[in-house]
Amino acid sequence: MKQDIYNAIHARVATEPFADTMGLKLIKVDKGYSLVEMQLTHEMENIHGMAHGGAIFSLIDEAFEIASNSHGTMAVALNMNITYIAAPRIGDCLRAEATEMSKTTRTATYSITVKDNEDNLIAACQAVVYRKNKLLPFLKV
């Protein structure tokens, strides 16, 4: 991965308002790959006192966004198919790992998994992006 893209993505995620609100932290990024973590807090509970699916989705979406834009060109989501497998505990640190499965000039497919502190699978997602023919707007050239 080019150092300028790596630096630009790290800087952008560090100042992204939504990531800050949700406590999303970029742990690792490489070409077509990312690892993002989030501490599951009481503010992320649903009506059953369990993790809200939207909180888990947000973690998945952040990992997907970073991995798919890691080539330095804009990529926007076309489809995400998530399966919730287990309910994590409030207080758990969840990690989403996004891996590029295929990439063409126009689309790319990603596999994203979410695991808890004990490496239990919480959710799995298959996602597709449309790859625009534009540099990332925050990438200085």
* CATH code of residue 119: 3.10.129.10
Q: Are 73 and 133 in contact (CB under 8 A)?
A: yes
Flag whether pLDDT at 141 surpasses 70. no
pLDDT confidence of 139, banded at 50, 70, 90? confident
**How many domains does the chain fold into?**
1
CA distance 3 to 6: 5
pLDDT of residue 86: 97
Please give the residue range of the domain that contains residue 63. Answer: 3-135
Residue 92 lies in a domain: yes
Q: Is 15 exposed, middle or buried (0-12, 13-18, 19+ CB in 10 A)?
A: exposed
pLDDT of residue 54: 97
Residue 140 lies in a domain: no
pLDDT averaged over every residue in the chain: 96
Distant-in-sequence, close-in-space partners of 22: CB < 8 Å, separation ≥ 6 = 38, 55, 58, 59, 62
**Residue 102, beta-bridge partner list:** 109
Kind plus residue range of the DSSP H or E element containing 67: helix 53-69
Residue 123 lies in a domain: yes
Q: Are 58 and 19 in contact (CB under 8 A)?
A: no
Q: Are 59 and 24 in contact (CB under 8 A)?
A: yes
Tell me the pLDDT tens digit for each residue of 14-70.
Answer: 999 999 999 999 999 999 999 999 999 999 999 999 999 999 999 999 999 999 999
Distance of CA 54 to the CA centre of its chain: 13
Q: Are 57 and 81 in contact (CB under 8 A)?
A: no
Residue 58 lies in a domain: yes
Residue 141 lies in a domain: no
Distance of CA 123 to the CA centre of its chain: 12
